[in-house]
Amino acid sequence: MWRLIQTTMLVGTMTLSLFGLRGFATESQTLQTVTLQIDGMTCGGCVKDVKAALAKVASVSSVEITVEKKGLFFSDYADVRATVTFDPEKTGVAALIKTVESASTPLSTYKARALKE
């Protein structure tokens, strides 16, 4: 009797795992990644503001912002890139660009464009 219960539980667990993995695989196939060139940033606060604005977009699953280094200690905010992974069925690249540009402050006006890779 105990062997039957163990087998039933094992088969049930495997079935749930397979359905769960299939759903995950389907979701990950619909994601798209785009790299945006962002001009107008002047400091680390700008990076934080843009990253927070992009992360608030409902279909965005990840945001990574790269700032080039100038020498050993200084950041070159003239070359800032944001790599954004999102669901293209819920939002588009134009909406992401608009989100970046709307995060502008009175001191820094951001302009974004998608890079061809």
Confidence of residue 78 (pLDDT cuts 50, 70, 90): confident
What b/e readout covers 99-110, taking b as 16+ CB neighbours within 10 angstroms? bbbebbeeebeb
8-49 residue pLDDT tens: 655 555 555 555 554 554 555 689 999 999 999 988 899 999
Give the C-alpha separation, 47 to 43, whole Å.
7
Q: Which residue has the higher pLDDT, 6 or 26?
A: 6
pTM of the model: 0.71
90-116 residue pLDDT tens: 999 999 999 999 999 888 899 999 997
